[in-house]
Structure 1
Amino acid sequence: MNSNKQLYLVTDHRIPFDLLEKKVKLCLEAGIDVLQYRNKYADTRVQYEESSRLKKLCHEFGVPFIINDRIDVALSIDADGIHLGQSDMPLDIARQLLGPDKLLGASVHNSQEAYDAIKAGADHVGVGALFHTSTKVNTKLISLIVLEEIRATIKDIPIYGIGGITPNNLTSEYLKILDGAAIISAILNCSNPTTEVKKFNALLKKQN
């Protein structure tokens, strides 16, 4: 699964939405492959309105739009898929609700969770945190050894690394295992998102 490595952007609720929307557009223009809307703190109405706007923007660029956690919001705007954590709705139930054609991603932290995710119908998994990150508290870091074990378990669906990833720490050791990188702060919390997207793409695409 290591061909066509993808740059997967995840939104940051700490950024005012109008500014976030502008930054997302710059990232789409620069060449991200997937966008995930993640906001666990906003009211449902706000999530509906914000995700509707971001989905429209993504589809102008032909980029899949995924929603974190909130399957009700995903269904209401006909998003391209959903991403679920270990404490969210069970994956098999989510797959039933979504149907066979939507993308279903899962956060996993070990090979058993990875195996269970595949069995339940996940199309891809996110593994992290690979490095220390400011977007989640009390995160347990995933070692390279555990990442290799997950890769050995997952043969046929993509693995995205997440958590504190920068162009400097996305080394060849990780790129050999990962099918893509999910990024928040290193792109959205900088002065020039376009430049950072290009840096990540230079790393990801040269591995193909």
Structure 2
Amino acid sequence: MNWIEAIGYLGTALTISASAMSTMIPLRIISLCASCAVITYGVMIGSIPVVLTECIQIPFNAYRLWEMIKLVRDTETAAAGNLSLEWLAPFGSKRRFGTGETVFRKGDPADELYYVESGVFLIPEVGIEIKRGGIVGELGLLSPGNTRTASLVCMQAGRALRISYSEVKQLYYQNPEFGFYFLKLTSERLFNSVNGSERVAAGDAL
């Protein structure tokens, strides 16, 4: 076996290895390496079809690799809580609220969440303020019977984006960044609700 055949066998081994992988980033990297090896082999033996096939595959694998790396970075940003949600605007309708207006009450049917664009809103049961850039109403999506777990009152006139739960579900499945942020948000809100309830109970006991 000469070195030209060795390159060909290397390309074959890398192609088989890529096909056996289950994680996407290593798979794309190995596929690109396999394509480079096969192209080199094809040039050495003068096979244009082999070279052409691999040259077509390289841009696809490179693009998918870039997508996966970008996805990992975006999900890390989302998990860190630094994700801006201004891109949600096309998925909802805007509504203005006046000072003292009740947006919803505990026990009401829940079919939408709100992204606060301006103003200040308060969850009175736990004393949590929601300001610009915050999301509220998300727990209704997870509660039994889709009912509000707390009330929401506008403390300072502002505007919020209303997003239906059907849109939220689509975003959750289609946009991993939003999915990670949503999971983190609901977890934090649940912990805050528990802590707030404990503070209220302690105050009543006093």
Give me the TM-score of the superposition, normalised by structure 1: 0.21
Kindly name which structure, 1 or 2, has the bigger radius of gyration based on alpha carbons: 2
